[in-house]
Amino acid sequence: MKKKLSVVFLAVISCFVFCFSAASCTDKHTHLLTHYNAVEATCTEDGNTEYWYCTECFKYFSDKSCKNEINLSDTVISKTGHSFTNYISDNNATCTENGTKTATCDNDGCSVTNTITNENSALGHIFTNYISDNNATCTNDGTKTAQCERDGCCATDTITEENTASGHDYNTENIQWVWDGYTSATATLICNNDNSHRYSITATVSSEITQAATCQDTGIKTYTASVSYSGKIFTDTKTEVLEKTSHSLVTEYREDEDWIWGYNVTHCETCSYEYETAVPEIEFKTFQRIGYGTTVTPMGVTNNIIYRVQFTGGYGELTYNFKVYASRDYTNVPVYYEYTTTQTESFTFYCPYSTSTMAEALEKYVIVITVTDSKGHSISAPLAANFTVY
């Protein structure tokens, strides 16, 4: 309640003061003026127009005679703010960063400056003096590098150094040869610039006997592998040992009193190798009855017995002469049947017999076999037809 009474009291007092002041100014009031000179506004401070203020009635006037009453706000001249138009580069741009530019306020008496980014003023690098990095390979161009020429800049630029690939430099003084047996070979060339770079060529292989083998000494066959590179022929050789040849044997027959049947001298036609062998004595081996038959002969139709006979020894081809006698006393009777051959597979003994008289015939007849070699040596063997040595 006290708060409400205080508010009403203040309102009554304020109204009384206002009415008293109004009556004083309009009736017989003499202004007690304070003069305020005009002040120009600055960039950062408000100014004001010339005005007068009455300290009695608390009013503002634009003229000294107090005829034109104004509000205090009418006297305010707003601050102008800075005006920056003439920017000048600070010359501080780098190769990669924009520099700045600075302007001084255009308003008189204001020395305030403003610095802003000088757009698109980065200078960019200057690369002109490129030096080779000496890193070209056989197949790839190398690079070259330049350092920026602007003071204080350490940036570098590396670019391809065109047409600097060296190409391969294959070493033909130390070719690596690999043989597969005697008929196939490969040559590998190694690059002097990089030993991992290799070039392989399949060789053409030819051969010749460079030392003929004999029956006393081995021979040599030389294989030559050839490759062509850069207009030149390169070769490698490999040798094969040839086995000794067999003797070129020739056998000659000779007779000597110490050699009854003679002897053979076998010697090599190309070396001094020689050996002697005695001609073996002719020996009877087998005499075998192998069958029976009937044969027409000049003496008529006869029964026959077929034998197989075999001798060994002698020199050269053996000739077999068979004489058949119809009596055990063959020295005093004529030859009943004679047969000469060089074949020993079989001999047919012709004798007249019947089935009933075959045993008698076998007991009666004698076969005299004479074997002669090509040098005239011979041996005779009288045999009974029933194989009894007579």
Max avg pLDDT among 7-16, 239-248, 295-304: 239-248
The pLDDT of 228-251, averaged and rounded, is 93
- pLDDT tens figures, 24-43: 344 468 889 999 999 999 99
- Residues of the chain with pLDDT > 90, as a percent, come to 52
Q: List the one residue out of 159, 274, 161 whose CA is nearest residue 215.
A: 274
**pLDDT given for residue 254 in this prediction:** 81
Amino acid at 146: A
- pLDDT tens figures, 199-220: 999 999 999 999 999 988 999 9
**Phi, psi at residue 285, to the nearest 5°?**
-110, -55
Are the beta carbons of 351 and 367 closer than 8 angstroms? no
**pLDDT given for residue 302 in this prediction:** 62
Asked whether the predicted pLDDT for residue 386 surpasses 70, the reply is no
d(CA 76, CA 333): 193
Name every residue whose Cβ is closer than 8 Å to that of residue 154 and which is 6 or more positions away in sequence. Answer: 147, 148
Mean pLDDT of the chain: 82
* Confidence class for position 267, pLDDT limits 50, 70, 90: confident
* Confidence class for position 371, pLDDT limits 50, 70, 90: confident
**pLDDT given for residue 358 in this prediction:** 61
d(CA 381, CA 390): 9
* CA-based radius of gyration for the chain: 75
The sheet with strand 319-325 has its strands ordered as: 337-341, 319-325, 366-372, 378-384
Extract the tokens encoding 84: 């920056």
* Confidence class for position 177, pLDDT limits 50, 70, 90: very high
Name every residue whose Cβ is closer than 8 Å to that of residue 29 and which is 6 or more positions away in sequence. Answer: 56, 57
Q: What is the 3-state secondary structure (H, E, C) of the chain?
A: CHHHHHHHHHHHHHHHHHHHHHHHHHCCCCCCEEEECCECCCCCCCEECCEEEECCCCCEECCCCCCCEECHHHHEECCCCCCCCCCEECCCCCCCCCCEEEEECCCCCCCCEEEEECCCCCCCCCCCCCEECCCCCCCCCEEEEEECCCCCCCCEEEEEECCCCCCCCEEEEEEEEEEECCCEEEEEEEECCCCCCEEEEECEEEEEEEECCCCCCCEEEEEEEEEEECCEEEEEEEEEEECCCCCCEEEEEEEECCEEEEEEEEEECCCCCEEEEECCCCEEEEEEEEEEEEEEECCEEEEEEEEEEEEECCCCCCEEEEEEECCCCHHHCCCCEEEEECCCCCEEEECCCCCCCHHHHHHHCEEEEEEECCCCCEEEEEEECCCCEC
**pLDDT given for residue 299 in this prediction:** 55
Unique residue bearing structure tokens 């597969």: 180
Q: List the one residue out of 214, 325, 316 whose CA is nearest residue 272.
A: 214
Are the beta carbons of 157 and 150 closer than 8 angstroms? no
Between these two residues, 339 and 66, which has the higher pLDDT value?
A: 66
Q: List the one residue out of 287, 304, 314 whose CA is nearest residue 382.
A: 287
Unique residue bearing structure tokens 């757009």: 119
Extract the tokens encoding 163: 């047409």
